[in-house]
Amino acid sequence: MTERLVNSRGHREPGFHAASIQLNSATVEIGGTRLIDTVNLELCSGMVTGLIGPNGAGKSTLLKVLARQLPLTSGEYLLGDRQFSSYGTREFSRLVGYLPQTTPPTPGLTVEEVVRMGRFPWHGALGPFTAKDSTAVAEALAITEMTGFAKRFADTLSGGERQRCWIAMLLAQEAGILLLDEPVSALDLRYQAGTMDLIQKISRTRDISVLVILHDINLAARFCDDIVALKNGEVAWKGLATNLVNAATLETIYDTRMTIVSSAGSKEQFAFVKIDGQDHLNN
C-alpha cells in the first residue's frame, strides 16, 4: 500500500484528505525498457504534490500514465474507489485535467475560446453551451486574472500569460485532479513564482489534487505540500516538502553535490548545486 502524506502547511487537520488517485506497484515497459518500476503513489484532495528528479527519471511518463496517455504494464491504478479503466473517456475527463509539457498551437483562437474548450467533457462536440458553461468559463478567467485578456488571440500572449490561459481551461473543466508537466519551465522568475502561487491557491480554495513536475527544487519546497522524487523510474525519496531542502537528500536524488543556504532573518533554506571543481559525486 502507499504511504499517506499529510499536509505540511497545517491548513487542514491530518486525515481530512481523501485519496483521489492511488498507484500500487505501477510498472511501465516500452520496447523492452522499463521506464517506471514498481511505483507507489497517492494523491490527496486539496494538496499539491511536486514530482521531481533528474532528466529521464520517468516523471513525464508517470504523468502520461495518470492521464491515460500511456498504459500500465502491470500494477493498479485507482481513481477514487474505482479502477481507472472503468471510466469512460468523458467521465474521466470530468475528473482529471492534464497539461502536457508542450501545449498545442492555438491559431485564430481567443483566450476565451481556448478556455471554453475545457467544457467539452460536459457537453460534447455538439451539445449546447449552457449558462452553467458560461459561468464556469467566467470564473476560470477571473481566478487566473485573465478576464482582461479574454478577447486577445492566445498565440499573442507572453509565456506566463499563456500558461494562465491553459490553467484557466483546466479550471473551466472543473476536474478535481490536475496533472501539470513542467508548467513553469519556460517562464521567467516572476512568472514562475506567480504561476506556482496560483496553482497552490487553486488547490486550497477548490480542494483540488495537483501533481506538478518541477525542476526547481526551491519552488517545489516553497509551493508544494509533499514531494515524490523519481530516479531511474523508481521512487528515490518521498516526504513532506518542508524536509526536501537537505543536502544529503538532494545528493542522493541527483548524484550532484549540493549546498544549502539559509535566508537571513527567516527560517527559509535554499538549495544550490555546489560549484567547487567537482560537482558530480561520481567524479
Q: Residues 237, 275: one domain?
A: no
**73 located within any domain:** yes
How do residues 215-260 score in pLDDT, each as one tens digit? 999 999 999 999 999 999 999 999 999 999 999 999 999 999 999 9
pLDDT > 70: what percent of the chain? 90
Average pLDDT over residues 81-89: 92
Q: Residues 229, 259: one domain?
A: no
DSSP string, 114-175: HHHGGGHHHHTTTS---HHHHHHHHHHHHHTT-GGGTTSBGGGS-HHHHHHHHHHHHHHHT-
Say whether pLDDT at 89 is over 80: yes
Average pLDDT over residues 1-27: 56
Q: Of 26, 35, 28, 39, nearest to 77 (Cα)? A: 26
Domain enclosing residue 279, as ranges? 245-283
What is d(CA 227, CA 241) in angstroms, rounded to the nearest whole number?
Answer: 6
What's the pLDDT score for residue 278? 54
Q: Residues 230, 252: one domain?
A: no
Is residue 247 classed as helix, strand or coil in its secondary structure?
A: helix
**156 located within any domain:** no
The CATH number of the domain holding residue 196 is: 3.40.50.300
pTM greater than 0.75: yes
Say whether pLDDT at 102 is over 70: yes
**Residue 125: all three cell numbers together:** 462536440
